[in-house]
Structure 1
């Protein structure tokens, strides 16, 4: 058995262990395995425009800064302009700043009217609500932020070279919520709402790759990263795992790689640490292609798009 095959087996073992693969140690080991994909070339994004949503903290800042270092013109999309300006000043270079609440589909439409041409779009904006909240259009806030707003934004910004959904390993514990996408029934739990909508993201990616055939559409999960969102929304998890968490740059690594590597990665897949991964770890989360299509039809209709 050659070294690259052994490397793939080791990588697979880390992935299935969850704890081993999602921590900073998992990334450190993988970087040393045979077959680790090469970094994007210097200047790989020169002449390209990249939009990063949720770019005022955590993974969004690290992602935007890395794209800028690769030569991109970076468009930071934030809800808080004051925080966004501080990030833009720190990054320097060719940086543009816009305010947009991705959960509000009317605000998304307004933003896209003035965004100009975009090459790479990263859906990084996220929310883990303490209680059920709705948008001005009546959509549950996690679903709107992670699925509905990004779906509409991507459609309205076409043509695009690449689209990347920053998902979460938390989606592995959830089924596709076909019977209640808006989480209107049962006891509402923010962590479950977050994970359910991340499952929807990953389920829709193969269909969106077909909907936008000229665009490379991918989803990824960053592993366990030490971000303000994790510390604020999951304080217990953060305390227990802090010594093992990835920093923001490590969490953003695969997003940056997916956006800048040449040739483009395979479309329609779910990635972690620069390799495609199965979207299911347990059999009870599996769904059919018809289920995914029904979910896409529901989401498209919810934001006024043709299914």
Structure 2
């Protein structure tokens, strides 16, 4: 009981809960909950945005558990550098490099086709690829780039890969952000075409979309035995934070989590047995509320309108 009260207090206080303080206060209760070494042997995992930060840390953590890991990157040269680094650190691991821009829906379709030809199964699909532009940027399909990268591309890729995910309790993990608590579901302006554009707001809006739509993704793929999980890593010191939020990083750096700490729940959701219940929002291995303020709550009608728009924008029925 005391542990649950402490956990809840850390979560609601934000600063201690999202920083390394929260992780280390919660960590002692997980010792019997850690995935076992070798527990991912024979499993195949795809991690998008795996050349740095949380994605690379998740790839390392899953490879250490014995998984075959495919690093999915947008920039091939950076991907090659990350792959060489991981192979040096984990010489016995089976690692593969894949190239796909998750904001480009045609590229996602081509990539899915390649995987369907090459692979016979995927056990875990981690959607970590991210974008936080300083000014409004459109994808090649004409969508605001954070929505394209965080919502449309992941939804499309997962749906196209259903033949590889179906039938063996596969898992999908979307990496969200605690920043989504500040935003309401942008039902009337999903592509952020109105008002003064701010990259951090666009980022948080797209992360709110991930969390709000997770139960509907879960329902869509449930008949295939796939579970869908959304998590946020807290405040982690990653290259993306350094480049996009330099002032925030300067002010909070002593408290920021390292990438491995931020990625812990990604690895846990991918590997723990039995699989956690799908459609929920997680941080530090525990389900979290989707809202803390009534002003951000969406109605079921708004959620379904958003889902209809997302399916159409991704070219899905």
Q: Does 1:234 align with 2:245?
A: yes
| Residue number in structure 1 paired with 2:228 | 217
**What CA distance in whole angstroms lies between the structure 2 residues aligned with 1:158 and 1:119?**
11
- Alignment TM-score, normalising by the size of structure 1: 0.96
Q: Does 1:273 align with 2:277?
A: no
Shift of 1:36: 6.6
| Residue number in structure 2 paired with 1:149 | 153
**After superposition, where does 1:16-35 map in structure 2 within 5 Å?**
16-33=12-29
- Alignment TM-score, normalising by the size of structure 2: 0.93
SS in 2 for 1:231: helix
SS in 1 for 2:173: strand
Shift of 1:90: 2.1
Q: Does 1:258 align with 2:269?
A: yes
| Residue number in structure 2 paired with 1:207 | 216
**After superposition, where does 1:1-307 map in structure 2 within 5 Å?**
5-33=1-29, 38-92=33-87, 93-115=93-115, 116=119, 117-159=121-163, 160=165, 161-213=170-222, 214-306=225-317
Shift of 1:26: 0.6
**What CA distance in whole angstroms lies between the structure 1 residues aligned with 2:300 and 2:271?**
30
Q: Flag structure 1 segments of 5+ consecutive residues without an equivalent.
A: none
Q: Deviations over 1:184-239 (max 9, x none)?
A: 00111000000000000000001111111011101000000000100110111111
Shift of 1:271: 0.2
**What CA distance in whole angstroms lies between the structure 1 residues aligned with 2:287 and 2:301?**
22
Shift of 1:32: 2.4
**What CA distance in whole angstroms lies between the structure 2 residues aligned with 1:275 and 1:242?**
25
**What CA distance in whole angstroms lies between the structure 1 residues aligned with 2:218 and 2:262?**
24
Shift of 1:301: 0.5
**What CA distance in whole angstroms lies between the structure 2 residues aligned with 1:37 and 1:180?**
45
Shift of 1:291: 1.5
**What CA distance in whole angstroms lies between the structure 1 residues aligned with 2:151 and 2:252?**
28
Q: Is contact 1:37–1:274 with CA below 8 Å preserved after alignment?
A: no
Shift of 1:290: 2.2
Following TM superposition, the consecutive aligned residue runs of length 4 or more in structure 1 with deviations greater than 3 angstroms are: none
Q: Flag structure 2 segments of 5+ consecutive residues without an equivalent.
A: 88-92
CA RMSD of aligned residues (A): 1.0
SS in 2 for 1:267: coil
